[in-house]
A = this chain, B = another copy of it.
Amino acid sequence: MRIVVLTGGIGGARFLTGVRAYARQAGAEVTAVVNVGDDVIMHGLRICPDLDSVMYTLGGGADPERGWGRAGETWTVKEELAAYGAEPTWFGLGDRDVATHLVRTTMLDAGYPLSAVTDALCARWRPGVRLLPATDDRLETHAVVSDPGGGSDGAGTQRAIHFQEWWVRHRGALPTHRFVFVGAEAAKPAAGVLDALAGADAVLLAPSNPVVSIAPILAVPGLREALVGGRAPVIGVSPIIGGAPVRGMADRCLAVLGVPCTAAGVAELYGARSAGGILDAWLVDSADAGVAVPGLTVRAAPLWMTDEAATTEMVRAALALGRPGEERG
């Protein structure tokens, strides 16, 4: 069995620990197609927060308390950069992390595509699943915000800031009009992505942020089409439990789109494959049992990823939704 997971960073990384555990039990192969919209170049370093969160988490190197970055991290480089007055100073650039970014940046500068670089980094981390960036091309999520400094008519002007600035520096608390995926039009799926989708027996949407983790993946031309045109069932796992995000700021992102922060709201945002969307089935938390979404098979199961066993059971429930004869909803 071949499982493809579309995923963002931290929540998706935890979800993948369950997918990996399931796959080991079932003898399945897992390919994770990871969002690159959060990627950013800072201090000359190419930083891939979602790829790194997944790689560190699956490789046993992530900090479980902080939720991002490396365990045992130190911050000397960051402090020294600040001493030079080098901006930005608000980004959490750990010393261990810097080494990852140096290796990545050096390889990219030498001409390797991001997918090959990711493969090389994974030679150390051995995540146990195949990690693919959604695209090898530059695709950056920017937030279009009101510029308090602009506009003399009181209406203000708009400006786009990198998602990291919106998320980390401003905690998503700026008046925001929309998100744009800069470079998406010209991006191509990374090597291996279309093949993985074509060969998949099941596609899972991790309970990642639908607006800024999953949507940038689907924004890569050809990728959504491959997903929709594929033979594999597409099963989404709700990132919203009882009207609130499991973690992160999906509520703030959904509000920008005017989408209700509910399990049903996110499912309707994705849409049913039978009605021009991408989903065949939708797994919600037990707290949201009874939610119905037109065109989708919806089932409930515990979605709190408290440990690997619980997460594995959640993955098992999601995959069962792709085999209607077996589901025990």
A positions within 8 Å CB-CB of B: 43-45, 74, 76-77, 79-81, 83-86, 95-96, 98-100, 102-103, 105-106, 109, 121, 123-124
Q: Is the CB of B102 within 8 A of A81?
A: yes
Residue in B77, B121, B123 whose beta carbon sits within 8 Å of that of A98 in the complex: B77
Given contacts A43-B106, A76-B96, A84-B121, 11 further A-B contacts (CB under 8 A): A43-B102, A44-B102, A44-B106, A45-B102, A77-B77, A77-B95, A80-B100, A81-B103, A84-B99, A86-B102, A98-B98
The 8 closest A-B pairs by CB, nearest first: A80-B99, A76-B95, A44-B106, A43-B102, A81-B99, A77-B99, A84-B103, A86-B103
Which partner residue on chain B sits nearest A97 by CB separation?
A: B80
30 A-B pairs with CB atoms under 8 Å apart are A43-B102, A43-B103, A43-B106, A44-B102, A44-B105, A44-B106, A44-B109, A74-B74, A74-B76, A76-B76, A76-B95, A76-B96, A76-B99, A77-B95, A77-B96, A77-B102, A79-B99, A80-B96, A80-B99, A80-B100, A81-B99, A81-B103, A83-B124, A84-B103, A84-B124, A86-B102, A86-B103, A86-B106, A95-B95, A98-B98
Interface of A is mostly: helix
By a CB distance below 8 angstroms, the chain B residues around A100 are: 80, 84
> When chains A and B are docked, how far (Å) is the Cα of A123 from the Cα of B109?
29
By a CB distance below 8 angstroms, the chain B residues around A98 are: 77, 80, 98
By a CB distance below 8 angstroms, the chain B residues around A109 are: 44
> When chains A and B are docked, how far (Å) is the Cα of A88 from the Cα of B28?
38
